[in-house]
Chain A
Amino acid sequence: MNTCIATMQTVNISIKAQKALASEGIFSKIISIDPALTRRGCAYGIEFSCAEEATVRRILRQNGIKNAQFLNFSGGKSL
């Protein structure tokens, strides 16, 4: 699976995003992000199949989740 990552500002937003995606049948994992990618420290992200990127963007937008950045490679350590 070609994985994409949406970086999130906080673990709470990551959990909210994962729940929103799951409610529409999108599987995702919460991962830690390499601090070099965000320079935020303790940064989190949602990992999902790149095939779902457009849907993921829509769901996050509809749920008021402001993601910092979309990455199209596995830049984090999967949990």
Chain B
Amino acid sequence: MNDRICYLDNAATSFPKPSAVTREVARCLRDYCGNAGRGSHKMSLFAAQKIYECRELLSSLIGAPSPESIAFVPSCTYGLNLIIKGILRPGDHVILSDMEHNAVWRPIVKLAHDGIITYDVFSALSQPNRSEKELITEIEGKIKRNTRLIICNHQSNICSYSLPIHEIGELCKNFHVLFALDVAQSIGHYNIDMQKMNINFLSAPAHKGLYGVQGAGFVAINSAEILDTLIEGGNGVDSLLPGMPDLSPERYEVGTLPLPAIVGLYEGAKFVKSIGVDAIRDHERELFRYLRDGLLEIGGSTVHLPEFEGNTLSFNTNNHSAEAVCRALDDANICVRGGFHCTALAHKALKTDNTGTVRVSFGIFNTKSDIDKLLSAINNFICK
């Protein structure tokens, strides 16, 4: 199938996967897919060692304090729920940005609806051209006596606008507020150092910028805080005791870990490291410029925040709905995503909450010929 497909939906999940990822996932399923931390036979121990190698690699990639500070979870969304619900207590106040994915917005709204917490939203995507200092001043103005957490995504999932993480981390440190980051759209595209950037908690998926497969994500912890658990159960530790252990990562890793997804993540992260995050971002920015300029040349469409170059571009055509454009592109075997992209806040900030957008998102395997194919299909559709 993929011989015919022009895949430009890497913000949803990256495709294709590096050959090393495909090979290792298959090798795992064929040769060593034991259950890590359950029993102590050779295959179980080998599985545990492979997982530990992945913890080591990820912790070095994001500047986490140690391999044990990496806890594998089923998805980035699960990780964000664990962070939010594991930290916040009755009476706490939390601050988030106006471009959060529903994975952050909905758990916070639920906690607020249940009367447990209160929250405030700071302007990011709705005022993209103001200075970092003005942005930080606004966030600082929202900090209250009971503010326990600031949580935001690093980069929007509908365009390439990103937040100044280092500065927000510094603010959190100065005000003794915990800082959590959703790196779903930035990991593998930006250099991240939890310790230098004062990031206390981070949640990431395996299957996007790290080129792993679906079914795994991870939370990284750079804090002495022990999170409350989201779910409880077996983890092979202190099995005769009724409570969950305080130890990280075991406290947060309940049930069998998805070994094939984790070894895929390991190979994907190695692939990203071997190319270099800066080189990947440069490649994606070049494709962004090529597409943006091509769309402007064709005319009849609006590119949202065209000055923020990166791996994701959203646009609307003047006379067709986002969904109609996506259907036409799908007919031409081009995969992009239209609609609201699970982010009510960001579309409201962009003023596209009535229309949605067409989102094009690049990966390292895309080339200018993919963009040529896309532009040609858009041109044909608009002129039809």
Question: Which residues from 18 to 59 on chain B have a C-beta closer than 8 Å to any C-beta of chain A?
Answer: 36-42, 45, 48-49, 52, 55
* Contact residues in A for B52 (Cβ distance below 8 Å): 12, 15-16
Contact (A11, B238) CB under 8 Å given A16-B67, A16-B68, A79-B42: no
* Contact residues in A for B48 (Cβ distance below 8 Å): 11-12, 15
Verify A40–B67 contact, CB threshold 8 A.
no
Q: How many residues of B contact A (CB 8 A)?
A: 23
**Could you tell me the dominant secondary structure of chain A's interface residues?**
mixed
Q: How many residues of A contact B (CB 8 A)?
A: 17
What is the CA–CA distance of A12 and B250 in the complex, to the nearest angstrom? 9
Verify A15–B49 contact, CB threshold 8 A.
yes
* Contact residues in B for A10 (Cβ distance below 8 Å): 37, 236-237, 247, 250
Considering the complex, give the chain B residue whose CB is closest to the CB of A45. B40
Contact mask A32-47 → B, CB, 8 Å, 1/0? 1000000111101000
Q: Does B239 contact A (CB under 8 A)?
A: yes
* Contact residues in A for B38 (Cβ distance below 8 Å): 42
What is the CA–CA distance of A10 and B249 in the complex, to the nearest angstrom? 10
Interface residues of A (CB under 8 A from B): 9-13, 15-16, 30-32, 39-42, 44, 77, 79
9 closest residue pairs by CB, A with B: A41-B239, A32-B40, A42-B236, A11-B48, A15-B52, A11-B37, A10-B237, A40-B238, A41-B240
Interface residues of B (CB under 8 A from A): 36-42, 45, 48-49, 52, 55, 67-68, 236-240, 245, 247, 249-250
Q: List 11 additional A-B contacts (Cβ < 8 Å) besides A10-B37, A15-B48.
A: A10-B236, A10-B247, A11-B37, A11-B236, A12-B55, A12-B250, A15-B52, A41-B238, A41-B239, A42-B236, A79-B40
